Chain A
Amino acid sequence: MTEKTTTYSSTKEWLLTDTPASALQAAAGRAYLGLLEFLKNRLAVLGLMIIVALVFVALFAPYIAPFDPILTDLKHRLLPFSAEHFFGTDELGRDIFSRIIWGSRLTLYVIGLVAIIAAPVGIIVGTVAGYFGGIVDMVLMRITDIFLAFPKLILALAFVAALGPGIENAIIAISITSWPPYARIARGETITIRNSDFIRAIRLQGAGPIRIISGHIMPLCLSSLIVRVTLDMAGIILTAAGLGFLGLGAQPPSPEWGAMTSSGRSYILDHWWLITMPGTAIFVVSLAFNLLGDGLREVLDPKSDN
């Protein structure tokens, strides 16, 4: 075969070439095709835009928020919408708009940490159980079953009650309750691929279980797991807000959306904006994650129709 040195006239050509010259180019081309597929789904792009906006707002909260979120001003309590207070003020005269802006940091903090803790635990437990089978599988899956036997929020409540209220404990409690479904998914995927020829082939080349699980099985479980985690983000936000609402999550005066709806509850009839504004924020962000998750499923999940 003759070596061809090709020059690419554009980035697009470089990405879509049949004959990539390096592993990086091959991976980039694959990612580009995935991106094109994703962009076809308008709703998913909308979801992604909302999440990007959320991250942007959280990063620049001090510059966007016009007021200090915990500064009380009793002379101006329970004010309706105005040019000064976009979303009005709450029962202690704090600016609701500023509190929602700062609250986005807490929301991101919760979902980020839960994803970082729960997803790896789930994928490791699931792939190890699925790959080894037998007694290892039985022990790990029975532990998973114990966690799955409780409703998620109730178990989280029990953990927070035991650990003490606070946002860090809420994160730990939510993580503990959200890894079992990921372990189940990863185990199911592992069982379908562990006897395939390409896994046998690498075993016959002398690879050990660590190399096989981390390099060959995990990448194949990852796509369905990413989709599931994204779809679960909405649930995580709601659980965090629920814990906040019950007074077991973030503690006052921190501007957590769930805690804000809780404290606005007593004013719901006369001053509806106290509970509606943070509630809407929770709704929009949850919806955005669901839309993004659906879009990712179409790109990543080979079993979907598109």
Chain B
Amino acid sequence: MLNISNLNISFGHGSEKNHAVKDISFKVKRGESFGLVGESGSGKSTVLNCISGLLNHWQGTIKVDGVPVSQKRDLAFYRKVQLVFQDPYASLHPRHTIDRTLKEPLAIHNFSDINHRVEKVLREVDLGSQFRFRYPHQLSGGQRQRVAVARALILEPEIILLDEPTSALDVSIQAEVLNLLQDIRKERNLTYVMVSHDLAVISYMCENCAVMSQGAMVEMISAKQLKSGNLTQNYTKQLFTASKGYDRAAIDLFQDF
């Protein structure tokens, strides 16, 4: 479904040049959920921004459904691939009602039956019709993120890119949103690419994941490996240890990569 090979991107020029993503390649099958993990600044979100089209000076090949996509995207691409942002407090327009936020993409893509589609997608993300004409400031963080998911779903895409969709939410809401995302994936047979620094979230959501460090891919692991801790690379092991919580003895053994 999604095939990335030798993806490279760098920012800045000359001595300040920062090679943010180095030769990343991975494949995601239809209906699969693929994770990208790594610490802050490892380039995982940048990969997602290249795929979604927010960044367009990358090199390499990105194929969706076997068709290579160019730097400049067309409407058909946006109908196929949608992104859910990390921070639900920033990703909804503060002066637009939920209704307008959801109708706008339908108007851009000339969908018919707009009212019915908005109602349906709100039901799908477990928000009642009483939320439809509210402004974002009248919703909680979890409700906002549901709206953001609904906005991504409303164009009926095949691939959804998730940029740490739960990291801005508190723990009780995180589980709700993750379950919702899992249910929707099964129901619609969607393909997910999910970025997270939380190994627990990745092991719950994804079948396979890539571990990234300083822009390069360190290792590809499956969810089973992640659960059992059967890891080969030292960096991944260290990340795995760090994710278990604070431990003085373990931290003393950490090395820089």
Binding site for B on A (CB under 8 A): 1-4, 18-23, 25-26, 30, 196-198, 200-207, 211, 215-216, 219-220
Contacts and interface: CB of A to CB of B under 8 A. Distances in A.
Contact of B133 (A23, A211, A215): A23
B124 to A, nearest CB: 12
B9 interface: no
A26 B135 contact: yes
A197 B135 contact: no
A205 B90 CA distance: 16
A203 B130 CA distance: 27
Interface in B140-171: 148, 151, 155
Contacts of A205: 78, 82, 104-105, 108-109, 151, 155
Given A1-B128, A3-B129, A220 B95 contact: yes
20 contacts: A1-B126, A1-B129, A3-B129, A19-B134, A20-B134, A197-B85, A201-B92, A202-B93, A202-B105, A204-B82, A205-B82, A205-B109, A205-B151, A206-B79, A206-B105, A206-B108, A206-B109, A211-B108, A216-B93, A220-B95
Contacts of A22: 133
Contacts of B127: 1
B99 interface: yes
B250 interface: no
B100 interface: yes
Contacts of B87: 197
Contacts of A196: 90
A206 B90 contact: no
Interface residues of B, number: 39
Contacts of A26: 97, 133-135
A154 to B, nearest CB: 39
B108 A207 contact: yes
Contacts of B52: 204
Contact of B93 (A21, A23, A198): A198
Interface of B: 52-54, 75, 78-79, 82-83, 85-87, 90-97, 99-100, 104-105, 108-109, 123, 126-131, 133-135, 138, 148, 151, 155
Contacts of B138: 18
A200 B151 CA distance: 13
A18 B128 CA distance: 13
Nearest to A26: B133
Contacts of B83: 201, 204
A204 B54 contact: yes
A13 to B, nearest CB: 15
B91 A21 contact: no
Given A205-B82, A206-B78, A211-B108, 10 more contacts: A1-B126, A18-B130, A23-B133, A201-B92, A204-B52, A204-B54, A205-B78, A205-B104, A205-B109, A219-B95
B152 to A, nearest CB: 9
A115 B176 CA distance: 50
The residue among B86, B95, B128, B138 with the most chain A CB atoms within 10 A of its own CB is: B95
Given A26-B97, A205-B155, A197 B134 contact: no
Nearest to A6: B130
A25 B86 CA distance: 31
A23 B97 contact: yes
Contacts of A2: 128
B133 A21 contact: yes
Contacts of A207: 104, 108
A66 B126 CA distance: 68
The residue among A18, A22, A30, A205 with the most chain B CB atoms within 10 A of its own CB is: A205
Contacts of B126: 1
B104 to A, nearest CB: 7
Contacts of A211: 108
A203 B54 contact: yes
Contacts of B94: 198, 220
A22 B126 CA distance: 20
Contacts of B95: 219-220
The residue among B82, B93, B123 with the most chain A CB atoms within 10 A of its own CB is: B93
A196 to B, nearest CB: 6
A198 B90 contact: yes
Shortest 4 CB-CB contacts between residues of A and residues of B = A1-B128, A19-B130, A197-B91, A206-B78
Given A23-B100, A206-B78, A207-B108, A201 B151 contact: yes
Given A23-B97, A220-B95, A18 B134 contact: yes
A163 B108 CA distance: 45
